[in-house]
Structure formats: C-alpha cells, structure tokens
Amino acid sequence: MSKNKDVLGEEQSGPLMADVARLAGVAISTVSRALANPGRVNEKTRQKIDAAAKQLGYTPNAMARGLRVGKSNIIMIVLPGSLYYGASQVIPQVLQSINKSLIQGGYNLMIANLDRDEASERHILDLAFGGTVRGAIILSSKLPEVDGRSLASAGLPIVSMLLDMSEVGLPSVVTNDREAIREATNDLLGLGHRRFLYLAGPQENYHDVERFAGVIEALRGAGLPESAVVRSGGRLDYQQGFNIGLEAADDFGALGDKPTAVIATSDDMAISFMSRIQSMGLKIPEDLSIVSFDGSPVCAFCSPPLSTIEQPMEEMGQTAVALLLSAIDRSDKPRQLRNVIRSRLIVRASMATPKA
Amino acid sequence: MSKNKDVLGEEQSGPLMADVARLAGVAISTVSRALANPGRVNEKTRQKIDAAAKQLGYTPNAMARGLRVGKSNIIMIVLPGSLYYGASQVIPQVLQSINKSLIQGGYNLMIANLDRDEASERHILDLAFGGTVRGAIILSSKLPEVDGRSLASAGLPIVSMLLDMSEVGLPSVVTNDREAIREATNDLLGLGHRRFLYLAGPQENYHDVERFAGVIEALRGAGLPESAVVRSGGRLDYQQGFNIGLEAADDFGALGDKPTAVIATSDDMAISFMSRIQSMGLKIPEDLSIVSFDGSPVCAFCSPPLSTIEQPMEEMGQTAVALLLSAIDRSDKPRQLRNVIRSRLIVRASMATPKA
DNA sequence: TTGTACGCGTTATCAC
DNA sequence: GTGATAACGCGTACAA
C-alpha cells in the first residue's frame, strides 16, 4: 500500500509491490517473481502483473532489495585528489567509460575521493564496510586503512586501474608505459638525439618508475650511459602539471650541456614547458624535440602539434569493469592479475632531427 | 550476530549492532541511540558502546538504515553525454567540488549519464523512483521522462547547474554569461574592432542564446547593427568542440568581408580555430583577435596565450550543493530560484587592436 | 504455478 | 535512561 498522503508536506512514497499485487489480483511474492524471474511464472499472470506495474508506475525499491539480498548494485571508483589536476582529460574519459560498462551490467557508479586526510579514508571505509558498495575500482596506489579497518580486508572485489597492483594481489589494468616510452625514445635516438631531458611526474610512483625505466632501456640499447638523460620535475608538492613544465623549462635554461630532446610524463607538463621554452627564444622542434604522455586531444592543436602517447582509457575502463564484474559474479580469481592495454604513440611535428 | 562463517566461499558480513550490544551488555536499541543521538543516552554507557563498536570494527549498514528511515544519503548528478567532450575541464572540477561539499553534509555522489537514448532516461528514473537517491543536480536542459514517469514529479529535490531552469521552477546556479561576454565584446570594441565572428556551441541551448545575446547587446550599445557579427558553428551533430573550431576556420577562410575579432563559446573551439587559422598564414592577434569561454588552464600556454572567460566551477558546485541540501532539510523553497555566480574575463595576448 | 511466512539490519515508538 | 517490539519493502524457503 502506497503511503501517499494527500497532506502537503508529507514525504511521497511511490506504489509498492503490494499495490501491484492487489491490482493484479495476486500475492506479493508472485509479483516479486514475475519481475525478477519472469520464467518461473505463468505467462498470463506475468502479463497481468506487468500491466498493473506499468499502470501504477511501479519502481522497485533498491534499498529494500539490497538489504534483503545482502548486496548492493553500486560500484565505487576511488579517485586520488591529485588526478583531478591538469588537462589530461583522463578523469572524464575514465568515468564515462566505466559508467557505461557498469550500467550495462546493472550497476551504478559512485564517486569517492581519496585525499591525504584521514576523513576521506574513513569515508571510503564506511562505504565499503557499511554495505553501500559491492566493489571498487581504484586509481590510487594506497588503499585506505584506518583504525584496523582496511579496504583490502573489506571482503570487496577490487580492481586497480592505471597503477599496477598485481604484486599485492589486485587485478590491475595498466598500459604498457615502459614499452611505449622505450619505443618513443628509440624514435628520438633514430632521429639522432643523444642527450635527453626527462620530466618526471609529481611522485616517485609506479608510472614514474616504469616510464623512466623505459627511457633507460632505450638508452642502454643504443649503447648510451644513463647520464645521457637528465631528470627534472618530480616535486611532490606540485599537483598542477603545468607548473612542473614551467619549472623544468627554467631548469633547462640553467643546464650546461643542453639536451636536444624532451620526454615528458604528461601533456600538461609538455605544453607549459614548450610555451616557456619558446618564449625563451628556442624553436620546437628545431632546437628541441618533445614527446609526452596522455594523448590529450588538445595536443593536436599546439604549435607545433605535440607528439604524445595515447592511453586507451575507453578500453581500460571496459576491461576494469569486466574484471570487477567477473570477480563479483563468479568469485574465481582471474587468470592473470596484470592486464596490459597497449598505448600508442601519435607522432606529430614536435619531433625532428637535432640541429647540431 | 555477525554471520561470519569460517567456510571459505561464504559471503562475509561484518559485525552487527547486535554484536556491539552484546559486547557492551546493553540492548540493541540503546546502541542505535548511542550512535545516532549521543545526547539521549547515559555518558557511561555511551562510552562502553563506543568502545565495543570500535573493538569490533563496527560499521552501520547504510541500506538497512536507509530502508528504515525511508531516505537515502545519495545524491545523483545527471551529466549529458555531450558535456564529456572537449578540454573544458568542466566535469572534473564540478565533480570534485560537488563531491567535497556533499561529503561534508554526509552525502555521497552517484553519477548518472543522460544520453539521447531512452535506456539512460529509464535508468535515471529508476534511481529516482526506486529510492536510491535523495536528490539530484542536473547539468542537462532536459529532464528524463518515460512512460509517464518524470524526474520532475519524482518528489525529489532538484537543482540545475550551468543551465538556467528557474523558469520551470528549478533552483538554478548559473554564471552571468551574457554580461561577461558583453563586457568582453565591449573590450574588443574599445580596441577598435567593428566586425566579429561568433563561434556557436553545438546546440541552440540556453548558453548559446545568452552568449549571443551578450554580443548583440554590446554591438547595439556601440551603435552597430546585428550584421556586424557572423555566426558559425552550432552544428548539432558535432560534440567535439575541436571540430567546430576547425570548421569555423574554414568558414572564415571563405568569408568575404573578414571579421577582425572572434568570440568563441568554448576554449576547445578557440584553440583548434586558432591553430588552423595560423596554419592558413594569419597572425593572432595582429590579423585576428580571439576571446573564448571556459577558463581552461591550458589557455595560458597557447601561442599566443588565449583570453578566456573563467567560470568559477568550484563556487558553482558549492552553491548548488547548498541549495540542494537546504531543499532536503527544510523543504522550504529558496528565496530566489536563479543564483548567479559571476565569471571573470582573463585577458591575455590573443586580443589586440585590429591592423587595418 | 502460486501463496504464506519469515528475515535482511536498522530506527522509532512505546512502556518500563 | 533503557529495553522490548514493530515496522521499512522486498526476496525466498516452504507449503499448498
């Protein structure tokens, strides 16, 4: 029985299963079955029930169902605050891709921000332990852990995206950063470059390690020493990639033996770096070649157009969701924890043969 | 009693209120009170209960509470698919700002995509009528409506953001688009520009109308006819702002009496437009001045740096949440439906006096 | 195939 | 101030 009261100011509550049952002339449980397992009910009664439900505009109550079956249909995505910064377009792409895949599977997406304060950790843990969410996709290297509660021990399926956490047992969807940047470096070597500047991200994290390793591997392959690359950036307190690029440009100006090619770990850094470098009178790519990471659409419209390594966010999101849902449905462990999605170098005019 | 079974493969379920009650030696209802209304319980027993809860790592079940009190603590944000495109950085900023404000109020944020298909509408309606969400913030001009169910009649507090929907009774948080673009146009007039190109957004929507009106108002103020501005863009099927800019640049090339200033309704359009215009041999700002909308950080690093009208997304998000929560708590109507947050023109080198 | 009865975990209403 | 008890709306054994 709908609790609708005609008194204004009262909470409205839509039609209940009981209302549908009464209108269709059947028991509540029959309605329940007709809606959930349409197969286990007489075709004729099912039609009666469907008609009644439609007539009343009935919508099942998700919380009541969730409580009863002991499961929610909400997945949370854990976003570190630092990811929000910059032009990388990563967040919208990831969210749209993941949400789309989730909805097809009957799930909803909830956002959880993981900042550096304990409150945000506690909040995420409440979501996990309070039964609000059924699984999590994390884009953070650190799992929330407060007061003995830990996201890892919440009994919740978790999939890591962007960061490889297969070593701690989490299914992970990552790109082949190291390989991609190695190939990009090889391209630069092939053009004749012998001295490099590497713009590190804000943290000594997985990506930084992998990407720098890719550069080193390429150098080794060409018989060059590690000293052929100079590191810049990597400041923990800089979240805006743009700032890193500016600082790095200043660093570059102060450098003695100048590199002829720059490898940036994000498009933001590359864009602001290039801007300042050009205002210092240097020409791209004549004086300096640049390649970066992220694949932001805006790179195509820089002057000169910027070479960048595109990360297939759409596919990563789909894969992450697929892994998560399979972990939820059949609780079997995935065959391989580490799932690599290949990224792709988009070559543009910012790379050329060195002048001297 | 926690249903933990030591059998592997069984669903884990954390400690219940009953477990806390037993450990503290009190009744379940007392635990409930101690946690919800700490004032209405003896200080000493409250401490016992808190200790027991902490020891067990108890987290209240959100669905059970929601079912009982008939309210959820989830807010949904309705994002139109078209908003995801481009470099405008609008989505991440909005999400972060809104989520932060919501969490402070004890709410969580759920994402709902509104595409052009009926399925996405139905999905949003299920969320609303199924009791999953307690309120909605919409960034879409159209409210989902399928099979007689309509989001407007879901009995759910709704706040519109970016788009002014005060005319249909929805509290709205908008920027002063028209005024801001009028002032920007005035600045261009002051520099000596008399002929303009206006790059319209993908739809004849609220923003387009407002912004174009701002241009016209400025022209009128200067005694110029409406024909002083040429419209370009505004194609419905183009979602990527970058493409609009490219098309518009081609349109510009074919134009007879060439404008000397461009007003773009998004940074994406302006960036790609400028890129192609420059590759056609024209110089910015000598041959053509440009100003655009969005305030993307990347504009500062274009060549030349791009003047843009910054929309204070952070403040808009906070205001939207404040409106929504006040509508939830005290169900009184807000004094004013239309809430205007002032945007701000950031002047950069892309604007100058016309050559001829 | 359909109906009856109970329980999911919590909060609110009542007595005590 | 505290404890027993009845809901909240739905799913699912079990019986019919």
Residues 238-297 of A with CB under 8 A from B: 240, 242, 245, 268, 271-272, 274-275, 278, 296-297
Is the distance from CB of B290 to CB of B261 less than 8 angstroms? yes
Give the pLDDT band of residue B82 (cuts 50, 70, 90): confident
Query: What does the mean pLDDT of chain B come to?
Result: 91
Between chains, do A110 and B74 touch, taking CB under 8 Å as contact? yes
The burial of B153, by beta-carbon neighbours within 10 Å (0-12 exposed, 13-18 middle, 19 or more buried), is given as middle
- Placement of tokens 């005290």 in the chain: B330
Q: What is the pLDDT of residues A58-99, one digit of tens each?
A: 999 999 999 999 999 999 999 988 776 655 667 888 999 999
Is the distance from CB of B356 to CB of B286 less than 8 angstroms? no
In B, minimum Cα distance to A81 occurs at: B96
Strands (E), B143-186: 145-146, 149-150, 158-161, 172-175
Residue A250 tokens read as 């200043």
Residues 166-225 of A with CB under 8 A from B: none
Higher pLDDT residue, B5 or A167?
A: A167
Is the distance from CB of A216 to CB of A229 less than 8 angstroms? yes
Query: Pick from B113, B268, B301: which is nearest to A275 by CB?
Result: B301
Residue B202 tokens read as 């993908």
pLDDT score at B183: 96
Distance from C-alpha of A44 to C-alpha of A49, rounded to nearest angstrom:
9
Query: Pick from B57, B96, B132: which is nearest to A149 by CB?
Result: B57
Residue B329 tokens read as 């708590």
| Predicted confidence (pLDDT) at residue A40 exceeds the cutoff of 50 | yes
pLDDT score at A356: 67
Per this entry, what is the length of chain A?
356
State whether residue B223 is helix, strand or coil.
coil
Query: What does the mean pLDDT of chain A come to?
Result: 91
Could you tell me the strand order of the sheet in which A196-200 lies?
A: A229-233, A196-200, A261-264, A289-294, A307-310, A344-346
Mean pLDDT computed over A185-214: 90
Secondary-structure breakdown of chain B: helix, strand, coil percentages, each rounded to the nearest 5 = 45, 15, 35
Query: Pick from A54, A61, A275: which is nearest to B131 by CB?
Result: A61
Phi, psi of B106, rounded to the nearest 5 degrees: 85, 15
pLDDT score at B8: 38
Q: What is the pLDDT of residues A259-288, one digit of tens each?
A: 999 999 989 999 999 999 999 999 999 999
Mean pLDDT computed over A254-261: 94
Between chains, do B89 and A93 touch, taking CB under 8 Å as contact? no
Phi, psi of B144, rounded to the nearest 5 degrees: -55, 140
Mean pLDDT computed over A11-21: 86
Q: What is the pLDDT of residues A208-248, one digit of tens each?
A: 889 999 999 999 999 999 999 999 877 766 567 788 899 99
B150 in reach of chain A (CB within 8 A): no
Q: What is the pLDDT of residues B116-140, one digit of tens each?
A: 899 999 999 999 999 999 999 999 8
Residue A116 DSSP symbol: S
State whether residue A305 is helix, strand or coil.
coil
Domains of chain A (ranges; CATH) run 5-68 (1.10.260.40), 74-175+314-341 (3.40.50.2300), 177-311 (3.40.50.2300)
Is the distance from CB of B132 to CB of B72 less than 8 angstroms? yes
Closest approach of B114 to chain A, Cα-based (Å): 11
Residue A293 tokens read as 């990471």
pLDDT score at B296: 87
The answer, as to whether pTM is greater than 0.85, is yes
| Predicted confidence (pLDDT) at residue B114 exceeds the cutoff of 90 | yes
pLDDT score at B12: 62
% chain A with pLDDT above 70: 92
Give the pLDDT band of residue B5 (cuts 50, 70, 90): very low
